[in-house]
Amino acid sequence: MYDVTRDSDVDTKATKLSARNVQVYYGTTHAIKDVDVDIEDKTVTAFIGPSGCGKSTFLRCLNRMNDTIDVCRVEGTIQLDGEDIYDERVDPVQLRAKVGMVFQKPNPFPKSIYDNIAYGPRIHGLAKNKAELDEIVEKSLRRGAIWDEVKDRLDAPGTGLSGGQQQRLCIARAVATEPEVLLMDEPCSALDPIATAQVEELIDELRQNYSVVIVTHSMQQAARVSQKTAFFHLGNLVEFGETGQIFTNPEDPRTESYITGRIG
Amino acid sequence: MTDATVHQPSASASKHAHSLLAADARTRKRNAAERRFRMYGIAAISVGLIFLVILLFTIIRNGIPAFTQTYITVEVELPEAKLDKKGNRDIADLKKVSTFGYAPLIDNAIFTKVQELGIETPFEKPKKMRSLVSASAAAQLRYMVLENPALIGTTVEFEVLGSSRVDGYMKGRVTRDSVARDKNIDAEHFDIVDAMAQDGSLARIFNWAFITGADASESRPEQAGIGVSMIGSFFMMLVVLGLSLPLGVAASIYLEEFAPKNRLTDLIEVNISNLAAVPSIVFGILGLAVFIQFMHLPQSAPLVGGLVLTLMTLPTIIISTRASLKAVPPSIRDAALGIGASKMQSVFHHVLPLAAPGILTGTIIGLAQALGETAPLLLIGMVGYIASNVPDGIAGGFLDPNSSMPAQIYEWSKRADPAYYERAWGGIIVLLLFLMTMNIIAIILRRRFERRW
Ligand SMILES: Nc1ncnc2c1ncn2[C@@H]1O[C@H](COP(=O)(O)OP(=O)(O)OP(=O)(O)O)[C@@H](O)[C@H]1O
Ligand SMILES: [Mg+2]
């Protein structure tokens, strides 16, 4: 039913992020219920599920972006390379430099395209001089599949780009800080098929070095880019396994009805 | 879908709906309501505009005369025999000659001029000319001589400040009838004024002294100016800006971006909103109790005035700063945090620049409010004090007793002489010019820094 191209090279990877018994509450709303997930290094993991099931919420737990929401409470343990990221000694700022994020809605800074990309490397001291910074900017924009469109107007404001271009700019910005894990919340929802293909290519390339977690509403996309897929439903992790397995032979009836379009 | 279910649209539509070319009853009613609402709006704005025009017209008509002043230009002889009996130009000796020594010189000069011009007058003594000139004229002449003793023994051309009656006559405020019972001046004096005005030696010229000068005593309105109280206002604004901008912005950033949302911060928030609504005179009495009676800061000092106005301006600045911080989309904060910026970096690198135009506008509007505020100054002694000296130096500017522009205007409007009434209106024009300038700066800053996102 879905064209699953890559599979079965996943068993040997080390675990990058592991979540155990994760509960998330927004005030009294129980948004994530008892989720266990292992996200492997050098792997693309897709989160799928109907709208409002908690994909974004869970994703935001992985780099503690939920800390910024006052009513949000996270329980359970999430470990990055074996270290608990919710330990009180952990500085979330340091964590987020390692676990980057691309948001559902493109949100470039109202600054020049160049400064959008250069901001992360600057605050993390990744470039020693202007030449190095220029290099990082160019490399990141190329990886974001947007270099050719903006190379002549790096001084133009990033907010002046089209929606899809803005999203690729945000991807380039996230990549520029060289995170170890990249969290992407529906990165292609504002993109045309060509840009989508470029981003998917980028994700595939990133997989060589990083682990990528992508939330998507497109089954085809999940099937194309991911090696592992997690299906969420009403705050529960219903099924988690190899993408090929989930799409061709799901164990849970809810998964099956979702991917065949009966719930959602 | 099959062909059978597709109807001819016109056939079915004509059954259910009117023609689009004529509005149905419901639409007509809705349109009428809309038109009525527009009329209300236009009416409200027109009423406002009419009042504004009347206000501006009255202010300008009453205030403009304050910007010209009548001067009499005459040749004044400065005889050595009167001013420097010893003849050695020793400044200490020169100072011994008081204004009483100088006043007759001016009288003589004017009397000579009157005779030169062949003006018919019943007055036989030069002393009678004194009604024409300001009581301050002799002091000004003396000052000029002490500055430059070489003038003694020569004849100098001197612009004598006319008395307020003469000035009023030139401006149409005083008439021959109205001075019938005035013991300061007689109607015959105005014959001289008329003739001299014809000759050109008496004329209304632009009144710099009004803009740069100090207040004067009750009896010499012609000498009073708003300049020194302008300096008082300036130093107060320095205090207000220097304290309320950093305090207000820091407080707002903390409350908006860092403070936990709990009972305490809710309470603080409510209190700030309440403070903004507290009548300004209450801040005045607070300032009197705290700054003057408890901390023993000098009375009537712009420093104290500035502190009181800071208390008053802070809530305004905090409220407008918080509003502009709130208006920055949260996605910008997320974007910064998402690539590993700290909270503070995200605020200072991204949020604050976007909020800056709003903060600046709020600050300038707060300052403009403070600039025009009179009531709290009543209580700390800045009203009623006659600001007659230009403060020397920065410390003096903050600590020497002074007035402020609105307090000065209030003071003038209380005085009996109609010449002061004119000056009060003139002062209002100066104050309005300042306020307008500040508001224009606010608009320009807003335009310049405003960015889209
Ligand atoms: N800031 C918040 N405050 C309160 N409740 C929230 C908040 N954010 C999300 N929720 C609730 O948590 C649940 C999960 O939301 P979440 O945004 O994670 O869904 P999602 O799976 O990402 O949906 P979508 O596919 O539409 O983006 C929803 O019921 C939502 O109402
Ligand atoms: Mg979401």
Residues contacting residue A45 through CB under 8 Å, at least 6 positions apart: A37, A39, A211, A212, A213, A214, A226, A227, A228, A229, A230
CB A86 within 8 A of CB A64: yes
Inform me whether the C-beta atom of residue B451 falls under 8 Å from chain A C-beta atoms. yes
Task: Give residue B191's Cα distance to chain centre.
Answer: 38
- Note whether residue A264 is domain-resident: no
Q: What does the pLDDT look like over A155-205, one tens digit per residue?
A: 999 988 988 889 889 999 999 999 999 999 998 887 888 888 888 988 898
Q: Is-contact B31 B23, C-beta < 8 A?
A: yes
Which residues pair with residue A23 across a beta bridge?
A75
The two three-digit tokens of residue A238, written as one number: 């219903």
Residue of A nearest to B258 (CA): A68
User: Looking at residue B366, what is its pLDDT?
Assistant: 92
Strands in B121-173 per DSSP E: 155-161
Q: How high is the mean pLDDT of chain A?
A: 89
pLDDT in tens, B215-236: 888 888 888 899 989 999 999 9
**Mean pLDDT, to the nearest integer, of B316-342?**
92
Q: For the segment B385-415, what is each residue's pLDDT rounded down to a tens digit?
A: 666 777 778 888 888 888 889 999 999 998 8
Residue A2 confidence (pLDDT) above 90: no
Burial class (CB in 10 A: 0-12, 13-18, 19+), B85: exposed
Q: Which atom of ligand 1 approaches the CA of A58 most closely? A: 18
Find the closest chain B residue to A172 by CA distance: B339
Residue A127 in any domain: the answer is yes
Q: Kindly report which listed range (A8-22, A176-190, B16-30, B39-53) carries the lowest average pLDDT score.
A: A8-22
Ligand 2 center from residue A216 Cα (angstroms): 9
Within a domain: A151? yes
The pLDDT of residue B2 is 46
- Of A98, A101, A124, nearest to B338 by CB-CB distance is A101
Band of residue A67 on the pLDDT scale cut at 50, 70, 90: confident
The answer to whether B151 and B144 are in contact (CB under 8 A) is yes
Q: What does the pLDDT read at residue A104?
A: 86
Interface check A120 vs B, CB under 8 A: yes
Q: How far apart are CA A23 and CA A30, in angstroms?
A: 7
> What CATH code is carried by the domain that includes residue A117?
3.40.50.300
Rounded Cα distance between B176 and B187, Å, is 5
Average pLDDT over residues A111-115: 93
Give the whole-angstrom CA distance, residue B169 versus residue B163. 10
Q: Is residue A172 part of a domain?
A: yes
pLDDT of B444 > 90? The answer is no
> In chain B, what are the domains?
67-206 (no CATH), 227-449 (1.10.3720.10)
Q: Residue B120 — φ and ψ, nearest 5°?
A: -80, 130
Number of H helices, E strands in chain B: 20, 3
Give whichever of B82-86, B158-162, B178-182 has the largest mean pLDDT: B158-162
| E-only strand ranges, B44-196 | 68-77, 155-161
Q: For residue B300, how far is the Cα from the chain centroid?
A: 18
Q: What is the pLDDT of residue A8?
A: 45
* Strand pairing report for B202-206 and B155-161: unpaired
Higher pLDDT, A251 or B16: A251
Q: Report the pLDDT value the prediction gives residue B11, as an integer from 0 to 100.
A: 47
How far apart CA A53 and CA A56 sit, in angstroms, is 9
Position A9: which residue type? D
Select from B334, B340, B452 the Cβ nearest to the Cβ of A107. B334
CB contact under 8 A, A177 and B340: yes
CA atoms within 13 A on the CB side of B248: 31
d(CA A237, CA A235): 7
Radius of gyration of chain B (CA): 33
DSSP assignment letter at A154: T
Query: Which residues, chain by chain, have CB under 5 Å from ion ligand 2?
Result: A 56
Percentages helix, strand, coil for chain A (3-state, rounded to 5) are 40, 25, 35
Q: What is the pLDDT of residues B333-388, one digit of tens each?
A: 999 999 989 999 999 999 998 898 889 889 998 999 999 998 998 888 887 666 67
How many domains is chain A built from? 1
Domain that holds residue A55: 4-259
CA of B353 to the centre of ligand 2 (A): 29
Q: How far is the CA of A50 from the centre of ligand 1 (A)?
A: 11
**What secondary structure, in 3-state letters, does B227-262 show?**
HHHHHHHHHHHHHHHHHHHHHHHHHHHHHHHHCCCC
- Among B312, B323, B311, CA closest to B255: B323
Residue B452, pLDDT > 90, answer no
pLDDT for position B453: 45
- Picking from B332, B342, B452, the nearest residue to A107 by CB comes out as B332
User: What gap in Å lies between CA B69 and CA B215, rounded to an integer?
Assistant: 15
Residue B313 pLDDT class (50, 70, 90 cuts): very high
Mutate to test the interface with A, among B339, B346, B354, B450 (most CBs of A within 10 A): B339
pLDDT tops 80 at residue A52: yes
Q: In 3-state terms, what secondary structure has residue B153?
A: coil
User: pLDDT grade, residue B1 (50/70/90)?
Assistant: very low
The strand pair at A72-80 and A83-84 is best described as antiparallel
- Burial class of B5 by CB neighbour count within 10 A (0 to 12, 13 to 18, 19+): exposed
Kindly state whether A105 is in contact with chain B, defined as any CB-CB distance less than 8 angstroms: yes
Size of interface A-B (CB pairs under 8 A): 71
- The phi, psi pair for B73, rounded to 5°, reads -95, 120
The CA-CA-CA angle for residues A144, A188, A1, to 5°, reads 120
Mark residue B206 as left, alpha or beta (left: phi above 0; alpha: psi -120 to 50; beta: remaining): beta
Task: Please indicate whether, in this complex, the C-beta atoms of B331 and A107 are within 8 angstroms of each other.
Answer: yes
d(CA B326, CA B359): 11
- Token pair of A236, please? 């529960």
Q: How far is the CA of A28 from the centre of ligand 1 (A)?
A: 13
DSSP symbol at A13: P
Instruction: Kindly state the percentage of chain B with pLDDT values over 70.
Output: 94
The phi, psi pair for B391, rounded to 5°, reads: -65, 140
Condensed to tens digits (0 to 9), the pLDDT of residues B90-130 reads 888 888 888 888 999 999 999 998 888 888 888 888 888 88
% of residues, chain B, pLDDT over 90: 43
